[in-house]
Amino acid sequence: MPYLGSEDVVKELKKALCNPHIQADRLRYRNVIQRVIRHMTQGLDMSGVFMEMVKASATVDIVQKKLVYLYMCTYAPLKPDLALLAINTLCKDCSDPNPMVRGLALRSMCSLRMPGVQEYIQQPILNGLRDKASYVRRVAVLGCAKMHNLHRDSEVDGALVNELYSLLRDQDPIVVVNCLRSLEEILRQEGGVVINKPIAHHLLNRMPKLDQWGQAEVLNFLLRYEPRSEEELFDILNLLDSFLKSSSPGVVMGATKLFLILAKKFPHVQTDVLVQVKGPLLAACSSESRELCFAALCHVRQILHSLPGHFSSHYKKFFCSYSEPHYIKLQKVEVLCELVNDENVQQVLEELRGYCTDVSADFAQAAIFAIGGIARTYTDQCVQILTELLGLRQEHITTVVVQTFRDLVWLCPQCTEAVCQALPGCEENIQDSEGKQALIWLLGVHGERIPNAPYVLEDFVENVKSETFPAVTMELLTALLRLFLSRPAECQDTLGRLLHYCIEEEKNMAVRDRGLFYYRLLLAGIDEVKRILCSPKSDPSLGLLEDQAERPVNSWASDFNTLVPVYGKARWATISKYQGAERRGPELPDTASFATSGPLIPEENKERVQELPDSGALVLVPNCQLTAEYFEKTWFSLKVAHQQVFPWRGAVHPDTLQMALQVVNIQTIAMSRAGAHPWKAYLSAQDDTGCLFLTELLLESENSEMQISVKQNEPRTETLNSFISVLETVFGTIGDIKS
Amino acid sequence: MDGWSGDSSHQHSWVQRESEAGQRSPPKLRPAAVFASANRAAHLEASPLRRTHLGSHLRAGASAGRRKRRRRRLPALPPRLPGPPAATMSASAVFILDVKGKPLISRNYKGDVAMSEIENFMPLLMQREEEGALAPLLSHGRVHFLWIKHSNLYLVATTLKNANASLVYSFLYKTVEGEDQRGPKRVYYSNVFSEYFKELEEESIRDNFVIVYELLDELMDFGFPQTTDSKILQEYITQQGNKLETGKSRVPPTVTNAVSWRSEGIKYKKNEVFIDVIESVNLLVNANGSVLLSEIVGTIKLKVFLSGMPELRLGLNDRVLFELTGLSGSKNKSVELEDVKFHQCVRLSRFDNDRTISFIPPDGDFELMSYRLSTQVKPLIWIESVIEKFSHSRVEIMVKAKGQFKKQSVANGVEISVPVPSDADSPRFKTSVGSAKYVPEKNVVIWSIKSFPGGKEYLMRAHFGLPSVEKEEVEGRPPIGVKFEIPYFTVSGIQVRYMKIIEKSGYQALPWVRYITQSGDYQLRTS
């Protein structure tokens, strides 16, 4: 172990380095130095030979120089006084005839990271900026940033900044890019490098000459530039067009972002850009490098949020291959879930079903959840697949399927019947807390349709003493009480036993309190229990429809090609919150960033303010069943309160429409059959104040518009407007699914 | 093609569409507005090249800002555009770790992240893996770790910035990963480290740490990628002892170069160019025999041994070109390439104008272009398999392979790997051609056939014993994989029609072409 004899090693090396015989033999000398570096790499403290190493820097051997300088950069912060001795040699090397040596010395000198070095490096850097070798200029330009970094609070040197701005015209492409990087670092307090029109145009013209790193960098800096006119903007887009198809994924992403930001006022251009980069993105998604593939998949998901149908025809590209790592498979499943449409739903579900029986439990469960996601739109097919999966009697599958069912029944009530039929027998294959809770909830809420529900719950009650999860016991209490309301005879005894256990024996206070609460509630009489337990619930389905609405491209364009989509927005928020809290300590808030983020917040708020009254004021009651006669009578007795046309394409699928309307608690009274001309439908809905909304839909065959007429039995404009917007959401959503 | 340049031309331009109220009009192509020909665009391109003119602008703009700033520092800023902060790639440090997470070598570029942060990496990775949430991006506190795994090494870049992820990964890959590892033979292997040692792994890092340090020093400065072109890097790395004797090292020519990818003053006795047209077939077939995915990824790779600054022009039987020149007669076979990407040396404006591929090539190996073809083709080697598992006793495997390509062509080095259960034993094989081998560490039988002519059909049977006590854990269903290489043949039918080499010294140079089709990700799922 090298760690043990550390002091001996240092002593021995010190001796060797001082040995004049070794110093005379260059090869041996270098070998000793290599040993020093090797030990340093292994983590040994080699600072003891600093003095000897400084001496070794005076050599013509470039490799030896590199090694010694590397050593110095590592230990200079530990031995600042000794490091100053090396400055002399370094300064001399900065005027060596060989540009390699000049560059190396300058780079090392700027990387010394110790106090007081600034005064020595200033002149060599200035000389380096005017060096005839581009290699030295590259180093010198970044050296300016390093120098500034050593003394962050020192005044920005105006002359130096000017010099760097003028070096943007340098012949060497890397010098140009380094200038931008350096200026950005130096001028960070003032908001970074200024990209004005001449600079922007100059950079645009240099783009083809840069390597991929430079191109990506410049594309990023160009985000700052705001073209003066539309013409200029489109000229820039034309110039940069070819970079959308670059062979480097980093450049493609960078160019995409720039296009999206520049064209922020032209949504159709943004869409066109995304169409253009489809090919390169897909290629990146099947890239050999898994990490690039992962990053691309994350961005594909981002795009899908705004353009749901964008990758639908390429769904096969997102099928998982056996040997792919987990994180790619999970992303692909998510993508598949999002790009599903009428044409590919069969194949996608088939493929996902294959994943559900994967050996990796995590992956299998992700696939099942994905099917659950698709089930919100294609309920019947998915419920069937999920039911079949229950037949496998695998623990990790059953529990996830039941959880999926729970969410599904909540969101798509029309599948309740099928789910209830599938449930019996599941209880044998569920062991974990989440699965048990889901099953118990389902049994409690829909127990009247499941014949053996009380007996399954009874089994749970019998084993309640050995139950380790309090959440399961709580769920059990609620479920049993609910079931007791619909099937009292079968549940009374069990409920009594459970309540007794919870109040007398249970140690967990939350469970105990819940038990006591229900007990006292029961004392208040059964009607009271019903009133409390079965009072109307919040309706999640409206939220579902709103969720599906497309997010505008501009909402994520500025995050594109950063770490945000790769982490996922939610995770990024927690990470950056943590980072923000840490950063706020030493540094003062940056005024520039305040100025930029200022106008964003009110804008967001404005949207929220507009939305809130909509969803807050109108609550449509479920199960408002009007008879056709009553509807007809009311319809003719009222005047049309509102008339509007919605854009509509193609034929109507009455089932889809009816389902979607049902989700938002709008009942269909009558409807023409599919394909009829003109096509008509009558709808009714009622809000919690008893106000009726009667609606007629009319689709003339030659028009691409749906005409709606709404009548209201109490004239109140604000609820009417909310109702119209609900209808709008529904039509918008159906339109999406179709297209 | 995309909707807004409906004509057959591949050129297009970004123009503002007049939008009618609420309706999306079909896009209009502004006549002659392609950037090379449009007057305004040309002006845009030309103006900065007039150096005096531009120079004064640049200087005026910049120094005006500065003058103000010097007087009163903060408030007198020129009006800031509300642009996002530049969040490009900037790595604080780069580490190479062994499989246990111990740093083998590291380079601290910026000094803004403590080098000890890397100690958090491995525990974090393990924790994530356990949670089933492993991703190539981890974060600890304010530090982001972007990492890739290469053989038994981890390459990790740490950064504080909200960086450009794909760029960082590209950079890490550039240093370690070969370009073509999929085919049966590595046709080319060009990356930064491989120029100096064959395989990048723990041992080679330890043995060559001086070179690795040198390379890390040149690849990046202050966390920004500098030169990553392996040919040009070679000029900076003085690695051998023999250079020591001369006392002075050669002055690298690139120090005064305008074209970043080629040095001046290259000399060869014999001027030659080798062109490899390589098409990889990716295939995914479902267990029921339906083709889920079939695509061809083509690359044209060049090995250039040319003196001076040669100007090369490559002609292909590209359909779009034939249509442009009116040559699309029945005689000329042409192919339609999708998603074509070029090496940065290719003048894209010329390609957009008249589909000429003209360029000054880098020295040595490089990938000139890549393309895709997603037209459905018959799988070149079709596999039918029956894997019957009799629990507690035996597994019987029957595999039929059929060459579905032209009779004149021959596939070489065919390797068909068939999965077997991990607890199988006592293998027995019977093959109509080639040999079969059991590879227990990978749980596969590999059936190798040296040469497999088109149209032929071969058969292999394998028999394995199974232990009477069944294993606890369930096994996955790995697919059957096929590797092959068919020389003198491309699926797409792409052809190099000419390669013109022009250099001002006027030497004669010879271009050589070869065509290979090989297996890419070629998988057939088993039931």
More confident residue, A481 or B335: A481
Quick one: pLDDT at residue A307?
Answer: 85
Nearest to B260 among A38, A209, A579 (CB): A209
Do residues A381 and A518 both lie within one domain? yes
pLDDT at residue number B28:
31
Task: Give the model's pLDDT for residue B279.
Answer: 92
DSSP 8-state code for residue A714 = S
Is residue B102 within 8 A of residue B202, CB to CB? The reply is no
- Give the model's confidence band at A684: pLDDT under 50 very low, under 70 low, under 90 confident, else very high: confident
- Residue A672 belongs to some domain of the structure: yes
Asked if residue A652 belongs to a domain, the reply is yes
Q: For A98-112, write each residue's pLDDT tens digit.
A: 888 899 999 998 888
Token pair for A700: 């003339």
Q: Does residue A654 share a domain with residue A521?
A: no
Whole-angstrom Cα distance, residue A440 to residue A446? 10
What confidence score (pLDDT) does residue B397 get?
Answer: 92
Boundary-marking domain end, from A534, A555, A590: A534
User: What percent of chain A is modeled with pLDDT above 70?
Assistant: 90
pLDDT of residue B11: 42
Confidence of residue B82 (pLDDT cuts 50, 70, 90): very low
> Which pLDDT tens digit goes with each residue over A562-586?
888 888 877 888 877 766 554 444 3
Q: Which residue of B has its CA nearest to A96?
A: B248
**Residues A496 and A634 occupy one common structural domain:** no
- Domain boundary (A512, A534, A556) is at A534
Instruction: Give the distance from residue A438's alpha carbon to the nearest chain B alpha carbon, in angstroms.
Output: 22
Q: What confidence score (pLDDT) does residue A541 get?
A: 55
The answer, yes or no, to whether residue B54 has pLDDT greater than 50, is no
Q: CA–CA separation, A646 vs A708, rounded Å?
A: 8
What pLDDT, on the 0 to 100 scale, is given for residue A437? 93
User: Residue A335: which of A373, A287, A361 has the closest Cα?
Assistant: A373
More confident residue, B403 or A79: B403
Confidence at residue A513, expressed as pLDDT on a 0 to 100 scale? 93
In this structure, are A514 and A633 located in the same domain? no
Asked if pLDDT for residue B5 goes beyond 50, the answer is no
Is residue A360 pLDDT above 50, yes or no? yes
How far CA B191 is from CA of B171, B173, B218, B362, in Å, comes to 11, 8, 14, 14
Question: What's the whole-number mean pLDDT along residues A70-99?
Answer: 85
Average pLDDT of the residues in A659-664: 77
Count other C-beta atoms under 10 Å from residue A167's C-beta: 21
A502 plus A635 within the same structural domain: no
Range name among A295-304, B53-62, B384-393, B474-483 with the lowest pLDDT average: B53-62
Per cent of chain A over pLDDT 90 is: 23
Average pLDDT on B368-395 reads 87
pLDDT in tens, A201-260: 999 988 888 888 999 999 999 998 989 888 999 999 988 988 888 888 889 999 999 999
Look at residue B30 and tell me whether its pLDDT is greater than 60.
no
> What is the rounded distance in angstroms from the CA atom of residue B383 to the CA atom of residue A175?
55
Q: Which of A63, A212, A261 sits opposite B210 (nearest CB)?
A: A63
In a domain, A178, yes or no: no
- pLDDT greater at residue A477 or residue A725: A477
Return the higher-pLDDT residue of B75 and A346. A346
Q: A363 and A490 share a domain?
A: yes
User: A713: domain CATH number?
Assistant: 3.30.310.10
Element (H, E) at B416: strand B410-419
Q: What is the pLDDT of residue B152?
A: 84
CA distance B135 to chain A (A): 6
Long-range contacts of A99-102, Cβ-Cβ distance < 8 Å, separation of 24 or more: A99/A131, A99/A133, A99/A135, A99/A136, A99/B251, A99/B252, A99/B255, A100/A62, A100/A135, A100/B236, A100/B249, A100/B251, A100/B252, A101/A62, A101/A65, A102/A128, A102/A131, A102/A133, A102/A135, A102/A136
What pLDDT is attached to residue A357?
A: 86
For residue range B302-311, list pLDDT tens digits in order: 999 999 889 9
CA-wise closest residue to A220 among A248, A273, A258, A183: A258
Nearest chain A Cα distance for residue B227, angstroms? 8
Residue with tokens 């193609």: A650
Which residues 257-316 in chain A show a CB within 8 A of chain B?
Answer: 261, 266, 268-269, 272, 275-276, 279-280, 283-284, 286, 288-292, 294-296, 316
Determine the Cα–Cα distance for residues A47 and A44; give it in Å rounded to an integer: 9
Comparing A11-20, A685-694, A730-739, B478-487, which segment has the lowest mean pLDDT?
Answer: A730-739
Distance (Å) of CA A188 to CA A21, A172, A591, A739, B224? 52, 24, 11, 47, 17
**pLDDT, tens only, A151-205:** 777 778 888 899 999 999 988 889 999 999 999 888 888 888 888 899 999 999 8
Q: Write out pLDDT tens, residues B86-118.
A: 456 688 899 999 988 888 898 888 888 888 889
Domain assignment of residue A433, yes or no: yes
Which one is predicted more confidently, B20 or A60?
A60
pLDDT of residue A665: 79
Do residue A635 and residue A519 come from a single domain? Answer: no
Do A520 and A653 share a structural domain? no
Q: A636-674: string of b/e by CB count within 10 Å (b at 16+)? A: eeeeebbeeebebeeebbbeebbbbbbbbbbbbbebbee
Q: How many domains does chain A have?
A: 2
Work out the minimum CA distance from A10 to partner chain B, whole angstroms. Answer: 20
> Residue B11: how many CB atoms within 10 A of its CB?
16
Strands B137-140 and B143-150, bridge-based pairing: antiparallel
Chain B: residue whose CA lies nearest to A166: B59
* Vertex A648: Cα angle to B24 and A733 (nearest 5): 95
Kindly report the CATH number assigned to the domain that includes residue A461. 1.25.10
Mutate to test the interface with A, among B221, B355, B524 (most CBs of A within 10 A): B221
Q: Is A564 domain-assigned?
A: no
Task: For residue A731, give its domain range.
Answer: 628-735
Which domain-ending residue is among A499, A534, A569? Answer: A534
Sheet holding B143-150, edge to edge: B103-108, B93-97, B153-159, B143-150, B137-140
The arithmetic mean of pLDDT across residues A61-71, rounded, is 87
Residue A728 resides in a domain: yes
pLDDT of residue A306: 85
Q: Which CA distances in Å does A241 have to A95, A96, A265, B166?
A: 44, 44, 18, 20
A462 SS3 class? helix
CA–CA separation, B517 and A217 (whole Å): 36
Q: What is the 3-state secondary structure (H, E, C) of A150-168?
A: HCCCCCCCHHHHHHHHHHC
- CA-to-CA distance for B85 and B99, rounded, in angstroms? 36
Q: Do A527 and A650 reside in the same domain of the chain?
A: no
Mean pLDDT of chain B: 75
Asked if A651 and A515 sit in the same domain, the reply is no
B55 contacts in A (CB within 8 Å)?
166, 169
Q: Smallest CA–CA separation between A425 and chain B, in Å? A: 23
Structure tokens at A25: 């033999």
Q: What is the pLDDT of residue B485?
A: 93
pLDDT in tens, A520-567: 999 988 888 888 887 776 665 555 554 555 678 888 888 888 888 888
CB A300 within 8 A of CB A311: yes
**Chain A partners of B473 at a C-beta cutoff of 8 Å?**
359
* Closest approach of A469 to chain B, Cα-based (Å): 20
A699-708 long-range contacts (CB < 8 A, ≥24 apart) are A699/A648, A699/A652, A701/A677, A704/A647, A704/A648, A704/A649, A705/A645, A705/A646, A705/A647, A705/A648, A706/A645, A706/A646, A706/A647, A706/A648, A706/A731, A707/A643, A707/A644, A707/A645, A708/A643, A708/A644, A708/A645, A708/A646
B449 — pLDDT class (breaks 50, 70, 90): very high
Report residue A719 as tokens: 């609820």
Q: Are B226 and B260 in contact (CB under 8 A)?
A: no
Q: Do B16 and A234 touch (CB under 8 A)?
A: yes
Quick: pLDDT tens for A622-638.
766 677 778 888 888 88
pTM exceeds 0.90, yes or no: no
Query: B411: part of which helix (H) or strand (E)?
Result: strand B410-419
User: Chain B: residue nearest A347 by CA?
Assistant: B292
Residue of B nearest to A571 (CA): B139
In a domain, A709, yes or no: yes
Q: Where is B341: in which H helix or E strand?
A: strand B338-342
Contact (Cβ atoms closer than 8 angstroms) between residue B349 and residue B36: yes
Averaged pLDDT, A263-272: 89
Task: Determine the average pLDDT of the residues in B206-214.
Answer: 84
Confidence of residue A364 (pLDDT cuts 50, 70, 90): very high
Minimal C-alpha gap between B397 and chain A (Å): 20
Per-residue pLDDT for A276 more than 70?
yes
Q: Where are the alpha helices (DSSP H) in A209-319?
A: 212-222, 230-240, 249-262, 267-276, 278-285, 290-306
Q: Which segments of A340-469 does DSSP mark as H helices, in order? A: 345-356, 361-375, 379-390, 395-411, 416-422, 433-445, 453-462
Q: Is the dihedral of CA B349, B351, B356, B362 positive or negative?
A: positive
A516 with A639, same domain? no
The pLDDT of A306-322, averaged and rounded, is: 87
B105–A41 C-beta distance less than 8 A: yes
Q: Is residue A501 domain-shared with residue A372, that is, in the same domain?
A: yes
Examine the pLDDT at B134 and tell me if it is beyond 60: yes
Give me A146's structure tokens: 């390093």
Tokens of A663: 């989700």
Q: Is residue A63 part of a domain?
A: no
| pLDDT tens digits along A491-507 | 889 999 999 999 988 88
Inform me whether the C-beta atom of residue A574 falls under 8 Å from chain B C-beta atoms: no
The reported pLDDT for the residue numbered B257 is: 54
Question: Where is pLDDT greater, at B362 or B237?
Answer: B362
What pLDDT score does B249 carry? 42
**What pLDDT digit, counting tens, does each position of A419-472 carry?**
888 888 888 888 888 999 999 999 988 888 888 888 999 999 998 888 888 999
Which tokens hold the place of A603?
């804008």
Q: Do B58 and A198 touch (CB under 8 A)?
A: yes
Which pLDDT score, from 0 to 100, does residue A499 have? 92
- Which of A40-44, A551-555, B274-278 has maximum average pLDDT? B274-278
* CB contacts, 8 Å: B251 with chain A: 98-100
Q: Mutation test of the interface with chain A: which of B125, B166, B237, choosing the one with the most A Cβ atoms within 10 A?
A: B166
pLDDT at site B24: 37
pLDDT mean across residues, chain A: 83
